[in-house]
Amino acid sequence: MGPDDVLLIVMLTALTLYAILGGADFGAGIWEFTTAMQATDRERQHIYKAIGPVWEANHVWLIFVLVILMNGFPAAFAALSRALWLPLLLALCGILFRGSAYIFRSYGTGSGRERVFWESVFAIASTATPLFLGSAAGAVASGKLMIPTDTTSAVDFVVGWISALTVFTGFYSVALCAYLSAVFLLREARQIGDEPLTTLWRQRALSTGLWVGVLSFGGLVMVAIEAPALAQGFLNRGWPLVIASLLCGIGSLVEVWRLNCTRAAIAAGGAVTAVIWGWGISQYPAIIPPAITASSAKAPDNVLWMMLGVISLGAVFLLPALAYLLVLFKREQRLDA
């Protein structure tokens, strides 16, 4: 295993954490979006309180993935920047509006109308961001992503990445975020002993969970038709993770039903982890299949080793700090309301 493989593992880990932690934060906004007509102020407060202390940190996992790609696999970074021009711009738009709307909503003490405005912006942007990031991921997974050159036509630059699979993964990501978020919010509602909210989020987690399950099967069929190379990778190497994601998914639904909320949250996270790692392992060693692989895109080994050194050193500071943050605001505690 070379340093590029170790770095890929680090990058995939960061991506997984972004998908779970950042995804749950997006999911909270997605719930606001989809229930805009019904959400009570209490529900909203519950959501904002849950993501308040952690969303900034959760967002940084994305930056982390980006800098590793930029530094460790520069050719892949450049290729993705060209190929995913439109979806990344749209995702950026979402990121900008999500972050700023959240803060204006919580710190602006403006009129009711102004707050409603930022609440809506937050909800829409929270939905748009995973939609576009998810479709960008799908475009990579499809194995058909065209890397534009200087002579590529404007039309191909703008729409070349779109395929049936990208549309699917866009919506699939939104669904996953919504499910994660429902499970996490269920856990928080239960912790503060709020009966009505617990019932609400349990119901929502169960219904989205079932939908995500159906979508997942649909996704496998889609991959088999649209991305035969990836499907082959699933058959050769990725299948244990497909099974793991299935088991975790079912497990989390069962635990939601039984109101073992922490277990449900862990299982839901496990399901997402298995999906991402299943994808990564199935397309390994390609970063952007078929042509761009880890070894063709990587920086020289001495650079990668130095990065790994920096990352290890950084982790010594980062991991305890992160643990402190999560324990402080997310551990099981019933006293603080």
Partner 1 sequence: MTLLAAATVTDQLLPARLQMAFTLGFHIILACFGVGLPVLMLVAEWRFLKTGDRLWQTLARRWSKAFAVLFAVGAVSGTVLSFELGLLWPELMGQWGAVVGLPFTMEGFAFFLEAIFAGIYLYGWERLPARVHWWTGWPIAVSGFLSAVFVVTANSWMNAPAGFRLVDGKPVDIDPLAAMFNAASGAQVTHMVVAAYLVTGFSVAAFYALCLLRRQSDEYCRRAFTLALLLALVFVPVQMLVGDWSAKVVARTQPVKLAAMEGQFQTERRAPLRIGGIPDAATRETRYAIEIPGGLSFLSYSDFNAEVKGLNDFPAQDTPPVAVVHLAFQIMVGIGSLMALMAAYCAFNYAKHRAWPQTQWFLWSAVGMGPLSILAMEAGWVVTEVGRQPWIVYGYMRTSEAVTMAPGVWTVFGTTMAIYLVIGVATVTALRRLASAPMSEVTHGA
Residues in touch with partner 1 (CB under 8 A): 52-54, 56-57, 59-60, 62-64, 66-68, 70-72, 74-75, 77-82, 85, 88-89, 92-93, 95-100, 102-104, 107-110, 118, 148-152, 154, 157-158, 299-300, 302-303, 306-307, 310-311, 314, 317-318, 321-322, 324-325, 328-329, 336
- Closest approach, Cβ 113 to partner 1, in A, equals 14
The 3-state DSSP class for residue 324 equals: helix
Long-range (24+ apart) CB contacts under 8 A made by 13-16 are 14/61, 14/64, 14/65, 14/68, 15/61, 15/65, 15/276, 16/272, 16/273, 16/276, 16/277
CB of 13 to partner 1, least distance (A): 14
Closest CA to 275 of 169, 182, 128: 169
Which CB, 47 or 231, lies closer to partner 1? 47
- DSSP secondary structure, 289-316, as one string: TTTEEHHHHPPPHHHHHHHHHHHHHHHH
Residue pair 152/107 in contact (Cβ under 8 Å)? The answer is: no
Minimum distance of partner 1 from residue 173's CB (angstroms): 18
CB-nearer residue toward partner 1: 129 or 173: 129
Adjacent-strand bridge partners of 225: none
Closest distance of CB 226 from partner 1, Å: 25
Residue with Cβ nearer partner 1 (50 or 165): 50
The nearest distance, CB 251 to partner 1, in angstroms, is: 30
Please list the alpha-helical segments (H only) found in the chain. Answer: 3-17, 23-34, 41-51, 55-72, 74-83, 85-107, 112-141, 154-159, 164-191, 195-226, 228-233, 239-258, 261-283, 294-297, 301-330
Angle, nearest 10°, between helix axes 164-191 and 261-283? 160
Which of residues 254 and 306 has its CB atom nearest to partner 1 in the complex?
Answer: 306
Amino acid at 222: M
d(CA 262, CA 246): 19
Q: Which is nearer to partner 1, 54 or 186 (CB)?
A: 54
Of 79 and 223, which has the nearer Cβ to partner 1? 79
Query: Distances from the Cα of 127 to the Cαs of 92, 110, 154, 192, in angstroms?
Result: 13, 24, 27, 27
Give the residue with the Cβ less far from partner 1, 60 or 254: 60
Residue 147 CB, nearest approach to partner 1 (Å): 10
CB of 314 to partner 1, least distance (A): 4
Instruction: Give dist(CA 70, CA 67) in Å, integer.
Output: 5
Q: How far is the CB of 185 from partner 1 (least distance, A)?
A: 18
Radius of gyration of the CA atoms of the chain, in A:
20
Residue closer to partner 1, measured from CB, 225 or 321: 321
